[in-house]
Amino acid sequence: MQHRNIAFIGAGNMAGAIVAGLVEGGYPADLISVCAPSATHRDALAERYGVHSRSDNAACAAEAGVVVLAVKPQLMAEVCGALRSQVDFSGKLVLSIAAGVTVERFCALLGEQLNIVRIMPNTPSLVGKGMSGLYAPEYVTAEDRDFTAALMESVGKICWVEDEHGINQVIAAAGSAPAYFFLFMEAMQQEMERQGFPADKARLLVQQAASGAAALVEASPEVSIGTLRERVTSKGGTTAEALRVMNEQKLPEIVASAMQAAIARAQDMEKQF
Ligand SMILES: NC(=O)C1=CN([C@@H]2O[C@H](COP(=O)(O)OP(=O)(O)OC[C@H]3O[C@@H](n4cnc5c(N)ncnc54)[C@H](O)[C@@H]3O)[C@@H](O)[C@H]2O)C=CC1
Ligand SMILES: O=C(O)[C@@H]1CCC=N1
């Protein structure tokens, strides 16, 4: 892929995961800067991955061709306001990973016809297993779209959405989703501990079952996930009993309501931030 000078504004969980995935995947570390007011996280990234650690957002953004906005949505207006007064964004590619901040809002904050792509990544990018949704307004060039796609493909898989609302739907299915699976795995580990297993064995059982199930889904694209479930479920057996309880307690409906709540929250944030 093409290599450009990238400034990450924000050095938290998600920026850290992308930086790690990029450098591990061979992106030149000396072309990456991470910028945040507090040195703790950015210095840790600099030490571990050889990227530059900076404290001055505007200087860092001014020197980069690609600026990744990776602060919390509620800080975006303040951070962008300070950048706009000091940095000329024409000719730069701006990538936002924030939930709930629209292209229209970024154009108001940083300049009309801003060359921006919204990315909705997730933390498994840290280990090259990320899933990112991408949205760009139509005027963004094919070259910038291709660069963004290649950047995120270097830390996982990507999916373009045609409509900006698709980013909110990607949040529900991928951005927030690792937390759903972690909650499920946590609950399973806790139950195994209640059953008397030590924490390390309980975790091993759950983690291997989860990664095995995910690997099986990935290795069987022609088989529906429902069929994979049926293959585990012997008539009158143990799985059927476990699934009966989950269905009686409406797990599928709970999942659907949870995903709808994530989308609704993203839409609220669009009005708020
Ligand atoms: N954590 C996740 O799984 C995902 C997060 N996102 C998005 O990524 C963005 C960041 O989220 P996290 O990394 O989870 O948050 P975080 O709280 O871990 O990181 C935020 C970073 O911003 C830095 N920061 C605070 N004020 C700043 C300023 N004035 N200038 C520069 N940096 C500043 C903080 O020091 C910190 O390094 C959010 O907008 C969120 O919506 C998107 C997808 C997944
Ligand atoms: O919870 C959030 O708002 C962010 C966006 C997706 C994952 N974390």
Q: 59 alpha carbon to ligand 1 midpoint, in Å? A: 19
pLDDT of residue 243: 98
pTM of the model: 0.97
Residues 84 and 42 in one domain: yes
User: Would the CB of 121 count as within 6 Å of ligand 2?
Assistant: no
Joined tokens for residue 231: 């293959």
Residues 233 and 127 in one domain: no
**Among 74, 78, 87, which residue's Cα sits nearest to residue 114?**
87
Q: 69 alpha carbon to ligand 1 midpoint, in Å? A: 9
Which portions of the chain are predicted below pLDDT 50?
none
Burial of 56: CB neighbours in 10 Å, binned 0-12, 13-18, 19+: exposed
Q: Which of 135, 164, 193 is the last residue of a domain?
A: 164
Distance CA 160, CA 162 (A): 7
Ligand nearest to the CA of 101: 1
142, part of any domain:
yes
Ligand nearest to the CA of 13: 1
Residues contacting residue 158 through CB under 8 Å, at least 6 positions apart:
131, 132, 133, 134, 149, 152
172, part of any domain:
no
Residues 189 and 214 in one domain: yes
Residues 45 and 138 in one domain: yes
CA angle 205, 124, 80 (to 5 degrees): 150
Place of tokens 């694209």: 221
Burial of 234: CB neighbours in 10 Å, binned 0-12, 13-18, 19+: exposed
Print burial letters for 215-229: b (CB count within 10 Å at least 16), e (below 16): eeeeeeeeeeeeeee
Q: Which of 164, 198, 233 is the last residue of a domain?
A: 164
121, part of any domain:
yes
Place of tokens 């299915």: 173
Residues 124 and 211 in one domain: no
pLDDT in tens, 205-248: 999 999 999 999 999 999 999 999 999 999 999 999 999 999 99
243, part of any domain:
yes
ipTM confidence score: 0.99
159, part of any domain:
yes
Distance CA 192, CA 88 (A): 56
**Phi, psi at 41, each rounded to 5°:** -75, -40
Total Cβ atoms within 10 A of residue 28: 13
171, part of any domain:
no
Residues 11 and 108 in one domain: yes
Residue numbers of the domain that contains 189: 177-270
Residues 34 and 95 in one domain: yes
Structural domains of the chain, count: 2
Residues 75 and 196 in one domain: no
Q: 72 alpha carbon to ligand 1 midpoint, in Å? A: 4
Residues 208 and 133 in one domain: no
Residues 71 and 155 in one domain: yes
Q: Which of 132, 164, 196 is the last residue of a domain?
A: 164
Beta strands per DSSP E along the chain: 6-9, 32-35, 52-54, 66-69, 93-96, 116-120, 130-135, 156-160
Residues 156 and 28 in one domain: yes
> Relative to the CA of 98, which ligand 1 atom is closest?
39
Residues contacting residue 96 through CB under 8 Å, at least 6 positions apart:
68, 69, 76, 106, 116, 117, 118, 119
Residues 110 and 184 in one domain: no
CATH number, position 38:
3.40.50.720
118, part of any domain:
yes
- Contact between 79 and 105 under an 8 Å Cβ cutoff? The reply is no
169, part of any domain:
no
Residue nearest to atom 18 of ligand 1 (CA): 12
CATH number, position 188:
1.10.3730.10
User: Would the CB of 171 count as within 6 Å of ligand 2?
Assistant: yes
Beta strands per DSSP E along 113-268: 116-120, 130-135, 156-160
**271 annotated to bind ligand:** no
**9 annotated to bind ligand:** yes
**5 annotated to bind ligand:** no
pLDDT of residue 77: 97
**168 annotated to bind ligand:** no
pLDDT of residue 1: 87
